[in-house]
Amino acid sequence: MNTRPSSRAARPARRRVATGTAAAILGMTMALGGALASPATAADAASATGIILGVGANETQRTVSWYTAEDSAQQVQLVPTARLANGEFPADAAVFDASGSANIATSGGFNRHATLTGLQEHTAYSYRVGTAGSWSPTYSFKTQDFEGDYDFLFYGDPQIGSSGDTTKDQAGWEDTVNVSLAANPDAELLVSGGDQVESANNESQWNAFLAPGKLKQYPWAATIGNHDVGGKAYEQHLYTPNTDRSAPYYSNGNPSSNTSGGDYWYIYKDTLFIDLNSNSYATSQGGGGDAAHLSYVNDIINKHGSEAKWK
């Protein structure tokens, strides 16, 4: 679906650059290739896995999430692609420190995430994660207009592993992502309807879900499905902005348990997206139920609704 330009009512000034009318459509952005040509060592491959680009709080941000085998300080280096010299990052490349923690026992290792800020419109960027001397390969993404209409693709139930053959599911998922992007070269977001995997804590399924190279180039706006909620892997792999991880937004009312949860929101151009963990719907299970989500939606719209035309 497409939205067309329309006149907009006057509203309070926003801190974001965007001022145009947004669009909601099934489509997608810039067809870039996979990793850029840069040397990758065995240490690179071992230090950072499961890299995925995520949506940020607004169009000037992106998030990056990944796993590491060791508990070390991690960073993201970011630079406009035009400033790469023979694939090398300049000394003054922007650096963003990562946060994270130890993974659940079933997966081992550590999860990391960083938020890239200060992005400019109409710019191709290159990034890599890791530490000095042990960087991942270099990946790329591109920003477009920070105002006006835009396209996005909506994906429902990749649910890797549901067929009983994870390898086959991975191949089909990679084909789906590649074909959808080839058919919709102008989309800017990949919006998830949930159920990334069949079994919440199955890392082989998560690795297969994260396999498409395009997931390192287009921001994935994640949603928790009922197949994702039963473990921490969802939270470990998919960092989301403006997330409220308090007890009412967990189905069992316990954020520290081995489950995922939380509600979050972001603004992209002139659209306020509010993403709910609808698995927390029954107060009898310990969570806040529907009333908690309704309160959350009302609160976010009251606080941020004036910053966007569409909700």
Residue in this structure with the two tokens 């659209």, named with its chain if needed: 271
Q: Which of 13 and 279 is assigned the larger pLDDT?
A: 279
Once rounded to an integer, what is the mean pLDDT over residues 286-298?
A: 97
Q: In this predicted model, what pLDDT tens digit does every residue of 127-145 receive, in sequence order? A: 999 999 899 999 999 999 9
CA angle 46, 49, 50 (to 5 degrees): 170
Instruction: Output the pLDDT for position 39.
Output: 41
Instruction: Output the pLDDT for position 64.
Output: 98
Q: In this predicted model, what pLDDT tens digit does every residue of 21-78 receive, in sequence order? A: 333 333 333 333 345 434 444 344 448 999 999 999 999 999 999 999 999 999 999 9
Q: For a pLDDT cut of 90, what percent of the chain falls above it?
A: 82
Nearest to 225 by CA among 212, 214, 241, 209: 209
Residue 146 pLDDT exceeds 80: yes
Q: Output helix, strand, coil percentages for the chain, rounded to the nearest 5.
A: 20, 25, 50
Band (218; pLDDT cuts 50, 70, 90)? very high
* 139, 35 contact by CB (below 8 A): yes
Indicate the pTM of the whole model: 0.86
Instruction: Output the pLDDT for position 10.
Output: 35
* Structural domains of the chain sorted by starting position, each given as residue range(s) with its CATH number in brackets: 42-241 (2.60.40.380)
